Amino acid sequence: MPDTTWHPEAVVEPKPGRRLGGRPSRTDELTDERLGAAALAVIREQGAEGLTRARAAELAGVSARATYRLAPSADDLVALAVNEWQRGWAPPSDTGRWKQDLIDWCDATLAHMRAHPGLVPASRQIRSDRLSDAGGPTVQRAAGLLTTHAGLDESTAMDVIGVLGMHCLAWELTISASERLAEMSMDPSLVAEHIAFLERGFHRGIGWILDGVTSDQRGRHT
């Protein structure tokens, strides 16, 4: 059976002979996922500032005009990219070492943010009703580690995961801003040292959050 999976990175040029303008043919229907994947690929290559409708359409293999049906505005195009980003957001493992599993997950989350420069700040401008909550299962899986292994109730576990998510967001913005500032005034070795310092702080922050969860839970049972 042929592989019908959509691979945006494999599509760089429009298909030969495609008629410019208008809606794609029924056999090549443009979907939210397909256009979102193309927009996300542009962000991965050029950052959020480099996202244009023309480039996303080119990667999707359609005309720019055809994209307006799914993304009437620039914010709609960013929203599709964010939804696709969430679909690629991996849930944590469950090895039985819940703290380490969540630390590893935060590491992977930060790396996933940084692989798509500028997407996180751009996403803060998007109304929630434009987002599909494709990352919901990932959040639920992470909260499940806290309910299963740390004994937290579901509401508290979701609050903790929200704090971890904001920690990752804040650190992505901090590291990105620091890289830009450092590169203007420091040599590469000092930039690397500075970023390593920030990364150590990122890990310490996760540890403090999770240690606090454990301490609070013990306090409730004493």
In which band, very low, low, confident or very high, does the pLDDT at 121 lie, cut at 50, 70 and 90? confident
Distances (CA, A) of 175 to 123, 163, 170: 18, 18, 9
**Cα–Cα distance measured from residue 159 to residue 154, given in angstroms and rounded to the nearest whole number:** 9
Burial class (CB in 10 A: 0-12, 13-18, 19+), 107: middle
Q: What is the pLDDT of residue 216?
A: 58
Least confident of 52-56, 111-115, 125-129: 125-129
Residue 13 has pLDDT above 80, yes or no: no
Q: What is residue 178's predicted lDDT score, i.e. its pLDDT? A: 77
Residue for token digits 């969540």? 102
Judge whether 38 and 83 are in contact, CB under 8 Å.
no
- Asked whether the predicted pLDDT for residue 4 surpasses 70, the reply is no
Indicate whether 206 pLDDT > 80: yes
Q: Is 10 helix (H, G, I), strand (E, B) or coil?
A: helix
Query: 214: closest CA among 156, 171, 140, 138?
Result: 156
Q: pLDDT (tens digit, 9 = 90+) per residue, 171-193?
A: 888 888 877 776 676 677 777 78
Predicted model pTM: 0.78
Q: How confident is the model at residue 109 (pLDDT cuts 50, 70, 90)?
A: very high
Phi, psi of 120, deg, nearest 5: -60, -50
- Can you tell me the mean pLDDT for 100-122? 94
